[in-house]
Amino acid sequence: MLPRKKCLLLLTIIVLIRSSQQHSSGAPSGACIDQLPRHSTIIPQTSVPPYVIIPSASQVRQGDTMNVTIGSPAGAPVPIGGFILQARQIQNPDTIVGKFTSVPDPGITHMTTCSNQNDTVTHSNPQEKPALTFQWQAPTDFLGGIEFRATVAQSYATFWRNVESPLVEVVTRDTVITTTAAPATTTTTSAPPVTSDISSPPVTENRDLIYNGCDDTKLCFGVPQNCVSSGTCKGIVAVLVEGEKYTFELQGTDKP
């Protein structure tokens, strides 16, 4: 066995052991909450993760389902080795909310249980994976902001913690969700500090403004794959890097 493969397998086993311990003790702790693989010497990367988490909508009604995708740069995809993904309350980030109802390929990913049944998804094997889309169901007993949060490992020794999606709002069942496309928003990640002062570039063509600069000045990540060049992404994150400053633009659409 190649050392790298062996390592990825180890990560899988560690995550699985943690989640089964979790299950038997019934109290969320360990990898369920801090999303860290248990290894004494390896620490998370501090660079900007080469992964993004893109929800299919910015609002979801209680009990309704939505999609959430873990992806990587459209031009130069970084495969996903291992991951653990959950929805968390914004106000109380240690609280896991909702549950997953479908995984893209049960052979490579599966649902597992931290606080409530199927509230977590993780990898089933260490194979390199492309972007993955999961279906998630909003809880019926919670209203407010949530985010999807993941630890994503490229390999055993290289992983990023707190890969976070833009905010998603869980709204009441009688809320009319009028927007089919989430407005482009600018948001921040916990580190490095971000200020949002991107000025709108002039419209040069018919496609959405968010694509302007993807060829040269911005890093653009979109789903499905290769959608950036054609301007047809269902979800897109654009990152403008200016020295120490990272400006994120996020946009999702729930058009079928």
Ligand X SMILES: *[C@@H]1O[C@H](CO)[C@@H](O)[C@H](O)[C@H]1NC(C)=O
Q: Which residues bind to ligand X, rule: CB under 6 A?
A: 56, 67, 99, 111, 117-118, 133, 254, 256
* Residue (34 or 105) nearer to ligand X, CB: 105
Whole-number minimum distance, CB 145 to ligand X, in Å? 19
Q: Where are the alpha helices (DSSP H) in the chain?
A: 3-25, 31-34
Distance CA 120, CA 100 (A): 7
- Coil, strand or helix: which one is 90? coil
- 231 C-beta neighbours (distance < 10 Å), count: 16
* Residue (83 or 100) nearer to ligand X, CB: 100
Whole-number minimum distance, CB 206 to ligand X, in Å? 23
Whole-number minimum distance, CB 139 to ligand X, in Å? 12
* Residue (8 or 57) nearer to ligand X, CB: 57
Distance CA 157, CA 143 (A): 38
Distance CA 26, CA 214 (A): 46
Whole-number minimum distance, CB 59 to ligand X, in Å? 12
* Residue (72 or 118) nearer to ligand X, CB: 118
Cβ–Cβ under 8 Å, residues 74 and 214: no
